[in-house]
Amino acid sequence: MKFSIVTPSFNQVRYLEKTLQSVLNNEDINIEYIVIDGGSTDGSIDIIKKYAHRLAYWCSEPDGGQYDAVNKGFQHATGDILAWVNSSDLYLPWTLPTVRDIFHKFPETQWVTSLMRLSVDGWGRFSGFCTAPGFSRNSFIQGLGGSSFIQQESCFWTRSLWDKIGGRIPDDYRFAGDFHLWSLFFEHAPLTGVDCPLAAFRYHASQRSHENRYTDEVAEILTALRQDVTVPPHNRQVPIVLMDGEKKQVDPLGPPIGDWSLRILPDDQSVAQQSNLQDICEERLALINKLSQSNGELRAAVASLKDKLATLNQKATLKKQASLKYQIKKLFKNR
């Protein structure tokens, strides 16, 4: 089984080498690694050349953006399992062996992602961690249990699935091309969630300017999907790959050890229940924040009244003292 991994990059010299290492450090895995640089001028080329002898293909030239670069990379891909990891994100030491084992053991699986979304900050330090109960096409479209937000760097899919959607990411969306790709995959196969972190998304300042535009495009895609009356048979299926509890070794720094088992939930009721619980928690959190804000506003109002009262008391005292001085002065004058 051969992996074809693509990394698109543009002026990411600060993070690029760590990304390359996270892929190439899997020496016992058959990897075809492709790096597409958009014409960087920050020293990225020197980093790429350092690892060029271990790359199947690389280039540095202007392109049409991230998804154009990804498509360009996949044109050179010949592997059985495809994926891309952006030039600031990271694979974990067990990512590729775990994915290989799952596709080998469950050949009916066509694409996978992690149920555990891990993130790091600009320095590579732990930033956040959240879980999803599972994924179905229906929950993806309805936004249940956070299922609309699939971690891109944790996604892997088969060559056959890639060919079914046309063998490229459509250029309809500049920012949410990955989200659009997931919607196309869902038309052909359910998404299998893996109960194991598979990658780390890196938060850094240069992403912030794109967040709103990504969200706007996601909303547009979901609106179109919700109007589509075509429903595939696997619409509510929730495939999950779990580790056999009796054989699992709990080691946060090591790979998962044990046998994987595949469970296919026939409907996404559990995802909906999780979504309802999240909605309740969010509502209660919003109420707490509102009460806290009201309490803070009340304390501020009381403090303001105290200040005003102190000012009035000060003015009254000064006025009283002035009146007393006048009375004393008048008394001595009359004598």
Q: Among the three residues 215, 247, 267, which one is the final residue of a domain in this structure?
A: 267
E strand or H helix that includes residue 266 = none
Provide the token pair at 132. 């999803």
Q: Among the three residues 223, 251, 267, which one is the final residue of a domain in this structure?
A: 267
> Are 275 and 167 part of one and the same domain?
no
Closest of 18, 188, 197, 173 to residue 99, by C-alpha: 197
> Are 106 and 172 part of one and the same domain?
yes
**CATH code for the domain of 13:** 3.90.550.10
Per-residue model confidence (pLDDT) at position 323: 63
Closest of 31, 33, 21 to residue 74, by C-alpha: 33
Provide the token pair at 104. 């080998």
> Are 115 and 76 part of one and the same domain?
no
Token pair 């920012």: residue: 175
CA distance 152 to 157: 11
Quickly list H helices, the chain: 13-24, 44-50, 66-74, 95-105, 137-142, 159-164, 177-186, 211-227, 269-334
Q: Express each pLDDT in 210-239 by its tens digit.
A: 678 888 999 999 999 998 878 898 988 889
- Helix H, strand E, coil C: the string for 123-178 is CCCEEEEEECCCCCHHHHHHCHHHCCCCCHHHCEEEHHHHHHCCCCCCCCCCCCHH
> Are 163 and 276 part of one and the same domain?
no
Contacts of 150 (CB under 8 A, 6+ apart): 113, 135, 140, 178, 179, 182, 191
CA distance 163 to 75: 12
CA distance 234 to 225: 15
> Are 152 and 188 part of one and the same domain?
yes
CA 293 to chain centre: 29
Residue 96 has pLDDT above 90, yes or no: yes
> Are 102 and 140 part of one and the same domain?
yes
Q: Express each pLDDT in 73-88 by its tens digit.
A: 999 999 999 999 999 9
Per-residue model confidence (pLDDT) at position 302: 74
Model confidence band, residue 203 (pLDDT cutoffs 50, 70, 90): confident
Domain that residue 307 falls in:
270-335
> Are 243 and 287 part of one and the same domain?
no
- Is pLDDT larger for residue 141 or for residue 279? 141
What is the pTM assigned to this prediction? 0.78
Which region among 7-11, 45-49, 118-122, 285-289 has the lowest average model confidence (pLDDT)?
A: 285-289
Coil, strand or helix: which one is 56?
coil
- Half-sphere exposure at residue 98, Cβ-oriented, CA atoms within 13 angstroms: 28
> Are 58 and 80 part of one and the same domain?
yes
> Are 300 and 311 part of one and the same domain?
yes
Model confidence band, residue 32 (pLDDT cutoffs 50, 70, 90): very high
> Are 160 and 34 part of one and the same domain?
no
Q: For 159-165, what is the mean pLDDT? A: 97
> Are 145 and 230 part of one and the same domain?
yes
Provide the token pair at 268. 């996404």
Query: What is the domain count for the chain?
Result: 3
Per-residue model confidence (pLDDT) at position 277: 47
Q: Among the three residues 54, 88, 122, which one is the final residue of a domain in this structure?
A: 88
Using alpha carbons only, how large is the chain's radius of gyration in Å? 29
- Is pLDDT larger for residue 267 or for residue 96? 96
* Mean model confidence pLDDT for the chain: 84
Model confidence band, residue 287 (pLDDT cutoffs 50, 70, 90): low
Residue 100 has pLDDT above 60, yes or no: yes
Residue 125 has pLDDT above 50, yes or no: yes
Q: For 143-154, what is the mean pLDDT? A: 79
- Is pLDDT larger for residue 167 or for residue 305? 167
> Are 49 and 180 part of one and the same domain?
no
